[in-house]
């Protein structure tokens, strides 16, 4: 009897230990994670003692077995790290602080949950230690949201999406499970004034996820299943006819992607949050010295049309030599040959009659301008030798388009592509792409992703939507927005056409985008002749770097306006943008180490009616200066201190 009582007592103590929450604090003690392991695994997150997320669930089903159902603790380990990350390509900063506390919870059954708590967010990932290959049938990520909560996200029609939808703003209670899915990254505001940005990092050999309503006022993750049968549609798409009963077949000994939550009370802290740099895996390239981020003159949006030239405009060498000459005059390192240069989008080895690639490459090389070729993902998949072929020819890189999926099969395509490109010293810019999720850290020749409602959308791209991007999409990685359309108008007067592309917003707003938005390959999207007629604006644009030593937010309000300052060497660049509300913003220059000359581009007095009204000023400033930025509706402000 005594042995039975002792056994029962031990079992009860074991159950109590299983149910007791494990606690992890951020280094400053303001964020707290409570993890409970019992019949299911739940966690809650608190900021300054207030619940941000409550009773969220996490879990994994492997080879038909739900690992988190009745999970049992094996060991618990706490620790701290205080280090610095130096990204091979300094997107926002040359160094990023990597200070965090961690909690590693090993479960019986050869798996674990690893948590990190930073001062500005928390992250977790599942770690597997199983033999051979496994099938991951599903991953559970349920998020309980406060009742007084507002979500800001892109609503996707389905798992096949270009990730270019505008942002929607809604209460979770308005969203139903049948309403479809939301893209990552997504942001929500709690009733207590906190904002939470959700995304993922260190993704490889594993699908990305969407979220949808869980039917109870919260959200749950949805992962695309692995495609089984594909049906070709045209020259660049596949329909997924049927799928496997798993989301990934992968190695049994590995870590899954990080799921991270940036948590901020001040809107500023969402923008340059550093999570992607901290959680990304190390660079896999031994030598990155050949990778040269920079600006690129883009042909597609301007329609390759010029006035007063002595040649027929179009897809031909004369037109692209004109682009090369423009780029060379302004020290722009690249031009793009977008769709149309190849005779067939499925056969890149035959160009149209007017294009002689070796001649163009030589012409550009003599003038310090590299060529980037547009290609569909399906073309590179059918012709994996394109990287070697065009690398030997002297091409600088590829703009690859229309992937529009995030299942494991497509995620692995991304990795194969950047690996092959890196072997032949080629740059990559993905369009029709999902958000950055760590591949660009391992292979820095991946300079940018689209995955944004950018200016190729014409009148569908508005400042009211774009002002959200620094807080959401660009906050997780580089973003090819395609800025620089200097023929601009207020919304009621905007009539973009193929002959004359036009942007919504003021001219100063367009200049500011080069400072506010970050992309390792930054487009000059307008016609070269437009830039040549506006030399002061053009000189400013081409002087703006695409990588930075330091970045900071000087003022912001979520979805309303933002003012950003970025440093490269001794120069500081400042950019401001607003939505349809005109405003005056005062910012301090107390971060300056010495005095300098400020050259600024401001909205003119009539920019609210004539968006092209832009005024240039020059003045001396120092760290005691306060700048008053007057922004028209859909306006901006841009300047450089040197």
Pairing of strands 488-489, 503-504: parallel
Give start and end residues of each alpha helix (H) in 367-506. Answer: 377-382, 386-393, 408-423, 439-442, 463-466
The DSSP string of 315-377 is SSHHHHHHHHHHHHHTT--EEEE-TTSEEETTEEEEE-TT--HHHHHHHHHHTT-EEEEEEEH
Pairing of strands 227-233, 334-337: unpaired
d(CA 476, CA 469): 10
Residue 622 is among the residues annotated as catalytic for this protein = no
Residue 307 is among the residues annotated as catalytic for this protein = no
Q: Which of 114, 139, 401, 429 is catalytic?
A: 401
CA quadruple 200, 477, 181, 409: dihedral sign: negative
The DSSP string of 219-266 is EEEE-PPPEEEEEEETTTEEEEEEE-S-SEEEEEEEEPPEEEEEEESS
d(CA 180, CA 194): 26
Q: Which of 462, 459, 473, 498 is nearest to 635 (CA)?
A: 462
Tell me the two tokens of residue 250.
Answer: 């992968």
Q: Which of 189, 338, 440, 456 is catalytic?
A: 456
CB of 587 closer than 8 Å to CB of 639: no
What is the Cα gyration radius of the chain? 26
CB of 542 closer than 8 Å to CB of 295: yes
CB of 267 closer than 8 Å to CB of 558: yes
- Which contacts (CB < 8 Å, 24+ apart) does range 145-149 have? 145/53, 145/172, 145/188, 145/190, 145/217, 145/218, 145/219, 146/51, 146/52, 146/190, 146/191, 146/192, 147/173, 147/191, 147/217, 148/190, 148/191, 149/188, 149/189, 149/190, 149/191
Q: How many CB atoms lie within 10 A of CB 2?
A: 6
Tell me the two tokens of residue 341.
Answer: 């240069």
Residues annotated as part of the active site: 401, 456
């Amino acid at each position: 009897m005594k042995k039975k009582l002792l056994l029962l007592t031990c079992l009860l103590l074991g159950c109590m230990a299983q149910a007791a929450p494990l606690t992890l604090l951020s280094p400053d003690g303001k964020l707290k994670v409570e993890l409970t392991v019992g019949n299911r695994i739940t966690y809650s997150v608190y900021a300054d003692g207030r619940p941000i997320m409550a009773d969220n669930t996490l879990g994994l089903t492997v080879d038909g077995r739900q690992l988190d159902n009745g999970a049992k603790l094996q060991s618990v380990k706490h620790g701290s790290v205080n280090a610095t990350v130096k990204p091979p390509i300094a997107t926002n900063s040359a160094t990023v602080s990597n200070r965090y506390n961690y909690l590693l919870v090993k479960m019986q059954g050869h798996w674990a949950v690893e948590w990190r708590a930073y001062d500005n967010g928390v992250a977790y990932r599942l770690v597997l230690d199983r033999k051979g290959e496994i099938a991951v049938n599903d991953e559970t990520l349920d998020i309980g949201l406060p009742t007084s909560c507002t979500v800001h996200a892109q609503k996707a029609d389905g798992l096949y999406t270009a990730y270019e939808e505008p942002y929607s703003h809604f209460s979770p209670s308005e969203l139903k499970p049948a309403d479809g899915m939301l893209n990552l990254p997504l942001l929500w505001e709690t009733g207590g004034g906190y904002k939470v940005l959700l995304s993922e990092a260190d993704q490889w050999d594993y699908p990305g996820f969407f979220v949808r309503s869980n039917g109870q006022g919260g959200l749950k993750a949805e992962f695309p299943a692995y495609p089984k049968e594909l049906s070709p549609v045209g020259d660049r798409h596949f329909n997924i006819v049927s799928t496997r009963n798993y989301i990934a077949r992968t190695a049994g000994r590995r870590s899954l992607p990080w799921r991270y939550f940036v948590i901020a009370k001040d809107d500023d802290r969402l923008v340059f949050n550093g999570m992607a740099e901290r959680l990304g895996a190390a660079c896999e390239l031994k030598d990155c010295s050949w990778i040269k981020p920079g600006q690129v003159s883009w042909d597609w949006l301007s329609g390759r049309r010029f006035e007063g030239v002595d040649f027929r405009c179009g897809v031909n060498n004369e037109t692209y030599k004109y682009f090369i000459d423009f780029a060379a005059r302004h020290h722009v390192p690249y031009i793009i040959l977008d769709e149309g240069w190849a005779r067939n989008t499925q056969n890149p080895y035959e160009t149209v009659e007017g294009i002689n690639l070796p001649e163009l490459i030589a012409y550009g090389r003599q003038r310090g301008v590299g060529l980037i070729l547009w290609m569909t993902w399906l073309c590179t998949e059918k012709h994996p030798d394109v990287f070697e072929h065009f690398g030997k020819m002297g091409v600088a890189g590829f703009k690859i388009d229309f992937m529009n999926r995030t299942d494991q099969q497509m995620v692995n395509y991304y990795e194969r592509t950047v690996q092959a490109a890196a072997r032949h010293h080629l740059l990559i810019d993905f369009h029709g792409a999902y958000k950055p999720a760590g591949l660009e850290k391992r292979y820095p020749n991946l300079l940018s992703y689209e995955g944004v409602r950018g200016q190729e959308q014409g009148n569908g791209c508005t400042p009211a939507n774009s002002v959200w991007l620094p807080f959401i999409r660009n906050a997780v990685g580089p973003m090819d927005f395609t800025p620089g359309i200097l023929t601009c108008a207020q919304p009621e007067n905007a009539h973009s056409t193929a002959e004359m592309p036009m942007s919504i917003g003021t001219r100063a707003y367009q200049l500011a985008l080069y400072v506010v938005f970050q992309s390792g390959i930054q487009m000059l999207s307008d016609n070269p002749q437009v830039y040549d007629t506006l030399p002061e604006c053009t000189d400013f644009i081409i002087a703006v770097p695409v990588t930075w030593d330091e970045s900071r937010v000087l003022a912001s309000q979520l979805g309303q306006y933002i003012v950003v300052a970025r440093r490269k060497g001794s120069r500081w660049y400042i950019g401001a943008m607003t939505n349809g509300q005109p405003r005056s913003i005062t910012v301090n220059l107390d971060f300056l180490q010495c005095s300098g000359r400020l050259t600024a581009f401001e909205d003119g007095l009539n920019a609210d009616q004539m968006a092209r009204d832009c005024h240039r000023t020059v003045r001396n400033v120092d760290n005691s200066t306060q700048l008053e930025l007057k922004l028209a509706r859909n306006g901006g402000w841009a300047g450089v201190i040197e």
